[in-house]
Copies of this chain bind each other. A is one copy, B any other.
Amino acid sequence: MIDPPHASAYIGIMAAHHHHEHAGASLAQAAEAALVEAGEQWTDMRSDIFAVLATFEKPASAYDIADLVSQRRGKRVAPNSVYRILDLFVTTNLARRVESANAYIANSHPGCLHDCIFLICDSCGTATHIDDDALTMSVRAAAEHAGFAQVRPVIEVRGKCADCD
């Protein structure tokens, strides 16, 4: 399950398996499939919220999303409703919460379970993500070694992205 240890950090990136990096309609379809797979309903509201979330390339706050979904529907959607659905998305792995930004981002490969590493630019706010299973597994291992169970790693890196540097 866990790759053998390796000397250098980033050699492991994307090495483990191939991802479908969905976008646009394909992503929405994949999200729908994943949600249904999880025994949940793919409602209009959920579809709209996912669609809006997926248009962002920066982590989006629940209030950002509420505003845009309100526009799209021509009717006010309360933050409350958005939070409910974002929570659902997070638990079903359709979206991730970016803790250091109090915001959310769509998972570009739903259905595929990873701990991922987010890089968030302090200047422009854009977030990219890295999958490095070897690294995240090491973090998990360290936590478990310290007696933790049901471990959920939060690995984010703040800094300046290549464009803003």
A139 engages B148 (CB within 8 Å):
no
B149 engages A128 (CB within 8 Å):
no
Given known A99-B100, A137-B9, A138-B138, contact A143–B160 (CB-CB < 8 A): no
B157 engages A154 (CB within 8 Å):
yes
Is residue A5 within 8 Å, beta carbon to beta carbon, of the partner chain? yes
Q: Which of B7, B146, B155, B157 contacts A151 (CB 8 A)?
A: B157
In the complex, A21 Cα to B107 Cα: how many Å? 40
A156 engages B99 (CB within 8 Å):
yes
Is residue A132 within 8 Å, beta carbon to beta carbon, of the partner chain? yes
A146-165 residues with Cβ-Cβ distance < 8 A to B are 146-162, 165
Question: In the assembled complex, which residues on chain B have CB atoms less than 8 Å from the CB atom of A155?
Answer: 139, 153-156
**A97 CB → nearest B CB, Å:** 9
B160 engages A148 (CB within 8 Å):
yes
Q: Which of B9, B130, B158 contacts A154 (CB 8 A)?
A: B158
A154 engages B154 (CB within 8 Å):
yes
| Complex: chain B residue closest to A101, CB-CB | B99
In the complex, A100 Cα to B135 Cα: how many Å? 20
**A4 CB → nearest B CB, Å:** 9
**A65 CB → nearest B CB, Å:** 20
Among all A-B residue pairs, the 3 with the closest Cβ atoms: A147-B162, A9-B138, A9-B141
Binding site for B on A (CB under 8 A): 5, 7-10, 13, 99-100, 117, 119, 121-122, 128, 130, 132, 135, 137-143, 145-162, 165
